[in-house]
Every structure is written in structure tokens, then in C-alpha cells.
């Protein structure tokens, strides 16, 4: 599907330009904003959702995150608040007063910032395998991130020194961690392709600037209807992390995809899209939102 509009939005704080595309019918009543994820990849990570949502009558906006795709590549400026400010700039450039957010992995951090600090502009939030921590690092690395590892095996590949020397090796290995399901060669190849033009120093900056000790105070303040989708074989962000996140959000729902890895929206798009459709249908702005908050005070697997 080709976009009916595309352009650039300028972050008013640092001048970084984010490339966006708009799909779906002109004059649609609701907008779904597909947030960028980690800058390793660009907005194509939502390729399975764009046509589905647009053909159901939603206005759909996608964004290339700073550092990848057609967006600017600053040497620094990769905090959650930087990405949230980029998203707000896109909303302004596209005339979007409020939107339902889709957030994958690291994109969950900017979604949380938007949902709390700009609550009037966020109708609902769907998190896919959110890489958000409330109590320390998401994962224990065998070697400190900025220290040369003794070897380049396993999670020692998630390392600044290794990225400077052989980022291509990390990209292929990480794609295999995202898609652990059998017969996943194509989506793994997609990740490698989408990360082809990322620079090591930019990717390193996304890690060095990603500390968020303030998230433990911000996260419980999310008040919108929330759906979290997580695979039970996720090797990037453990399912238990989402269970811990949802223990702080009584209005949220957790749906577990059995046998799925880190990106169920790409690997199992039919099931994910139907789940997304049902969630959006029953959380339309207005009375439906109030009913959802009353009815969804539990998690289900």
C-alpha cells in the first residue's frame, strides 16, 4: 500500500526531522499512530498492520525513528523524551489531535511518556513486547556494554566494542533472537535489511542514553485502555517483564502468544491484527473507553 501523504516533521527542541507517512481514507474519524521502535530498524516493522488498519477505515501514521530510514541521524539525542517529542511533532505536522498508539519493544518507552505527559492526545495504547524496565536493566549482559568482551558469542554480541568492529554480525544474530519461531528466515532477513544503514555510533548512543529510572514513577500513571501482547518464547524481553508491568496497571490486559518470539505482530500478523481490531473497536473514544476501564481490570493469558 502506498501512502497518500508523506513528509517531515521537525522536533522543535533540537531540529531533528522525522519522516512520516499517512495511509487510509481522508477524513477518517480515528488515527492510529504506529510509533518507531529501536533505531536499529525503521517504520517497515509495521508493514503487516498498515494495510489492515487502513482498509478498516483508520487513518494510519507511520514514522521512521531518528537514526534510521528517511529520518535524520543525530550523533546524540536518543532518550525516550526525544522520541516522544518526535512523535508529537509528527502529530502536529499531520493534524492529529489524538491517536491510538501502537508501540513495539523500545517504542513502548516513548508510548508511556506520551500516554502520561500528553494524556489528552492518546486514546489507547497497544504495547508489543515492551522493553521497559521498572527495576534495573532489562537483561544481564555477560560483559559490560562498553567493555571489550572476551569473545563474540551469545549476548556478548550486544556490546559497543563489537558493534564498532562487526555490526553486521550483531544484526544477523539479533534478528535470530527476535524471530525464534521455525521457518522465520524471511522476517530475519527483513531485520537485517532494515538495519543496513544504521551507524554503530548512533546505535551505541541509543543504549547509553536509554537509562530511565524515572519510569517506575511514570508507568503506573498510564490511565488509558492498554493492551499488551507478548510471546512466551521471547528471547529479547522476557514475558515475565510484561507481567510485572501489568501488575501496576489494573485497567490493562495481557494476551500471550504461545510459541511466539519478540515480534508476534510480524510473525503471526493475522491473529495479532484481529486482536488489535477487537481492542480498537471496543475502546472507541467516548463511552466505550469508560466501559473498557471498568471491564478490563484483569489480565488473561
Burial group, residue 21, by CB count within 10 angstroms (0-12, 13-18, 19+) = buried
What's the CA gap between 8 and 90, in Å, rounded? 8
Q: Cβ(68)–Cβ(40) under 8 Å?
A: yes
| Single pTM value for the model | 0.93
Strand order in the sheet with 226-231: 5-10, 17-23, 59-63, 31-34, 99-104, 122-128, 226-231, 252-257
For CA atoms 108, 132, 196, 19, give the dihedral sign.
positive
What's the CA gap between 131 and 3, in Å, rounded? 29
Segment-wise mean pLDDT, segments of 10 residues, the chain, 301 residues: 96 97 94 98 97 97 97 96 98 97 98 98 98 89 97 98 98 98 97 96 96 94 98 97 96 97 98 98 66 43 42
pLDDT in tens, 4-19: 999 999 999 999 999 9
Contacts of 39 by beta carbon, 8 Å cutoff, 6+ apart:
65, 66, 67, 68, 78, 198, 202, 203, 206
Contacts of 23 by beta carbon, 8 Å cutoff, 6+ apart:
1, 3, 4, 50, 51, 53, 54, 59, 60, 61, 62
What's the CA gap between 140 and 162, in Å, rounded? 17
pLDDT in tens, 86-106: 999 999 999 999 999 999 999
- pLDDT, residue 286, reads 56
What's the CA gap between 161 and 142, in Å, rounded? 14
- pLDDT, residue 45, reads 97
Q: Strands 17-23 and 31-34: what pairing?
A: unpaired
Share of the chain above pLDDT 70, in %: 95
Q: Cβ(105)–Cβ(129) under 8 Å?
A: yes
- pLDDT, residue 26, reads 86
Amino acid at each position: 500500500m502506498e501512502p497518500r501523504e508523506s513528509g517531515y516533521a521537525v522536533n522543535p527542541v533540537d531540529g531533528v526531522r522525522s519522516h512520516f507517512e499517512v495511509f487510509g481514507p481522508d477524513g477518517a474519524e480515528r488515527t492510529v499512530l504506529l510509533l518507531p521502535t529501536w533505531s536499529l530498524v525503521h517504520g517497515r516493522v509495521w508493514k503487516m498492520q498498515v494495510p489492515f488498519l487502513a482498509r478498516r477505515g483508520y487513518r494510519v501514521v507511520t514514522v521512521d525513528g531518528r537514526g534510521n530510514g528517511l529520518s535524520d541521524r543525530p550523533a546524540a539525542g536518543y532518550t525516550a523524551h526525544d522520541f516522544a517529542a518526535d512523535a508529537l511533532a509528527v502529530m502536529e505536522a499531520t493534524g492529529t489531535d489524538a491517536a491510538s498508539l501502537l508501540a513495539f519493544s523500545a517504542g513502548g518507552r516513548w508510548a508511556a511518556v506520551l500516554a502520561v505527559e500528553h494524556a489528552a492526545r492518546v486514546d489507547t495504547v497497544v504495547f508489543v513486547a515492551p522493553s521497559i524496565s521498572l527495576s534495573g536493566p532489562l537483561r544481564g549482559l555477560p560483559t559490560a556494554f562498553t567493555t571489550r568482551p572476551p569473545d563474540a558469542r551469545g549476548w556478548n554480541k550486544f556490546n559497543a566494542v563489537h558493534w564498532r568492529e562487526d555490526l553486521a554480525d550483531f544484526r544477523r544474530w539479533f534478528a535470530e533472537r527476535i524471530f525464534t519461531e521455525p521457518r522465520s528466515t524471511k522476517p530475519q532477513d527483513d531485520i537485517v535489511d532494515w538495519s543496513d544503514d544504521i551507524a554503530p555510533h548512533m546505535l551505541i548512543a541509543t543504549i547509553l542514553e536509554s537509562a530511565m529510572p524515572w519510569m517506575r514513577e511514570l508507568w503506573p500513571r498510564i490511565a488509558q485502555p492498554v493492551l499488551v501482547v507478548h510471546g512466551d518464547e521471547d528471547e529479547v524481553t522476557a514475558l515475565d517483564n510484561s507481567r510485572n508491568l501489568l501488575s501496576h496497571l489494573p485497567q490493562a490486559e495481557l494476551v500471550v502468544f504461545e510459541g511466539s518470539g519478540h515480534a508476534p505482530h510480524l510473525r503471526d500478523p493475522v491473529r495479532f491484527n484481529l486482536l488489535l481490531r477487537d481492542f480498537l473497536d471496543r475502546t472507541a473514544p467516548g463511552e466505550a473507553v469508560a466501559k473498557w476501564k471498568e471491564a478490563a481490570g484483569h489480565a488473561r493469558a
